[in-house]
Structure 1
Amino acid sequence: MADQSVNMKQLEEAKALHNKGVDGDKKAVKKANKMLLKLREASPDNAIIEGYYGSTIVLSGRDSVKILERVDKAQEGLDILNHAIALDPNNKEIRLLRGNICVRLPESFFQSSETAIEDFTFLLNHYKEDSNYLTLMQIREVLRNLSEAYKNAGKPDKANAVLNRLNQMES
């Protein structure tokens, strides 16, 4: 039990570093990646650890100066995130991670907009069933990202419909 609480504390620390990495802190990405790698080795079937580890791989690709390394790391991270979803398909946190990454990757290389649409639609459908599932801030973020994913996927009518829904919420 003590090992599990240590792992939870380390996971929370790794998540905080990950979030700093999302905001551009390259050193935080490297630290989070190392921590998550160790946690992953200790708990190979933990979907949350897997999801954050995959995200740090994508972030390390974002931070790479070599274009081929960027592409390889992004694909590797996506594969790991897909595995995390396979481990726990109903996990909100992993769906947010993967959706947010997929909507930001270049569609011409990764064709990941449909995955983002799947994740954001999943989140909104669960919110319809349970109004406590997402915060108001998360709903707005999901709607903005869903609209962007539809736009990236070449579906401007659906993108505009989602934007209209967001605008109605904000008025």
Structure 2
Amino acid sequence: MSDQRVHMKQFEVAKILHNNGVAGDKKAVVKANEMLLKLRESEPDNALIEAYYGSTLVLLGRDAVKILERADKAEEGLDALNRAVTLDSNHKAIRLLRGNICLRLPESFFHCSEMAIEDFTFLLDRYKENSSYLTQKQVREVLRNLSAAYQNAGKPDNAAEVLQRLDQLERKKKSKD
């Protein structure tokens, strides 16, 4: 079996562990991080591996006991996510990962709500160009997250405007059902 196929299988396992980690499984986060670190070493310019690696670092920070370790891991994870966006700025999964992480980090410390706004706006702009880019469920989630990011960034008018868009979308959905 080729190295590429082995790496892809390992990456799929690491993504499952990552998702289990997002749901709270601390051991899965550690294992996913270890796997992604190895994959990252063998494919240093793979943007998606870099993004998931960055996300696992943020999750390690979430689970750390010491405050300084929490902050350091989160910063390191953000750096990896930013590198992933630099490597492939058009990748939907990377933008979703970074946007969701930036939304959930404390704005008073990390100041990354603007980055979340950038990512969610990017996703919605691509959706406007191609309606199959996001599922309707993803559109609603991105709109909710964009509104929250605007709120975190101290832009309540923008947040309210996005919520109106979401409300219109919800009404359209109900009228179709």
Q: TM-score range by the shorter chain?
A: over 0.9
Q: Deviations over 1:71-121 (max 9, x none)?
A: 111011000100000000111110000000000010000100000000000
Answering whether residue 135 of structure 2 is matched by residue 135 of structure 1, we say yes
2:148 aligned partner, one-letter code: E
- For residues 3-14 of structure 1, what are the structure 2 equivalents within 5 Å? 3-14=3-14
Unaligned runs of 5+ in 1: none
Q: Deviations over 1:110-156 (max 9, x none)?
A: 10000000000000000000111011111111001000000000000
Question: Which residue is 1:115 aligned to?
Answer: 115
Q: Secondary structure at the match of 1:149?
A: helix
- For residues 2-151 of structure 1, what are the structure 2 equivalents within 5 Å? 2-151=2-151
Q: Secondary structure at the match of 2:90?
A: coil
- Runs of 4+ residues over 2 Å off in structure 1: none
Question: Which residue is 1:155 aligned to?
Answer: 155
Please give the alpha-carbon distance, in whole angstroms, between the structure 2 residues aligned to 1:76 and 1:97. Answer: 15
CA drift at 1:54: 0.3
CA drift at 1:2: 1.4
Please give the alpha-carbon distance, in whole angstroms, between the structure 2 residues aligned to 1:38 and 1:134. Answer: 31
- Aligned positions, number: 171
Q: Secondary structure at the match of 1:51?
A: helix
2:126 aligned partner, one-letter code: H
CA drift at 1:37: 0.4
CA drift at 1:167: 1.3
Q: Give the number of the structure whose alpha-carbon radius of gyration is greater.
A: 2
Q: Secondary structure at the match of 2:101?
A: helix
2:68 aligned partner, one-letter code: L
CA drift at 1:35: 0.5
Please give the alpha-carbon distance, in whole angstroms, between the structure 2 residues aligned to 1:18 and 1:113. Answer: 23
Q: CA RMSD in A?
A: 0.7
